[in-house]
Structure 1
């Protein structure tokens, strides 16, 4: 973690206020576990990409250590050690957590099998008796 702005009194106050207002991990909330306590505050737009050092609450995100590590390892702030692997797991709807994942959804087709599938299976078999 870089020293500035994280070693300033302004950041410490902003971090404390953000965790009071948004105490739960955004990563777990996306996975359907909305009540995991966060202890890390992250910039939505990294300072290295021109984001403000002291943004409003809409420019910050609350994470648990595991979700923050997973997010940071895939972001530009990871530098040379950036991971190209998709993030494992899915949300409560069955969609991958990684928005760039090639699967659209893990859920079954809501339409179901074609209506005449049973007739096709029986008529092609030798079930005449």
Structure 2
């Protein structure tokens, strides 16, 4: 963390202010886990055109494991960037990683015929003989 802008007094003040406003890790909160954050990250990386000193809506608080997972999948990882989906699920069972292949599955076919209909069709087929 020795490179500009992270070695400036402005960044240190912004980081402390953001951690006081958002003290919990946003990655852990997605899993309904409360973890105290100690890292502040740019939502849009400076290398991708993000401002070096954004407002609080341009920053996110992370714990070290979540920050590492986010950074490993972002453009700032460079040539060592991983394309593996992030492990873990939200409380509703959907994967944490929005790029996970599960999200590509179409549920339209499942929604057109509810399970009740399928069950009654099976019972009818068995009784018809």
Partner of 1:116: 120
1:19 matched to 2:19: yes
Aligned-partner Cα distance in 1 for 2:128–2:88: 40
Q: Can you list the C-alpha shifts for 1:29-82, whole angstroms capped at 9, x where unaligned?
A: 11122x211000000000011110000000000000000000000000000110
SS in 1 for 2:41: strand
Secondary structure at the counterpart of residue 84 of structure 1? coil
Map residues 1-129 of structure 1 onto 2, 5 A cutoff: 1=1, 3-33=3-33, 35-104=34-103, 111-112=114-115, 114-116=118-120, 119=123, 123=127
TM (norm. structure 1) is 0.83
Partners of 1:36 and 1:2 lie apart in 2 by 26
Gaps of 5+ in 1: none
RMSD across aligned C-alpha pairs, in angstroms? 2.5
Task: Determine the C-alpha separation between the residues in 1 that align with 2:75 and 2:51.
Answer: 16
TM-score by length of 2: 0.83
5+ residue gaps, structure 2, are 105-109
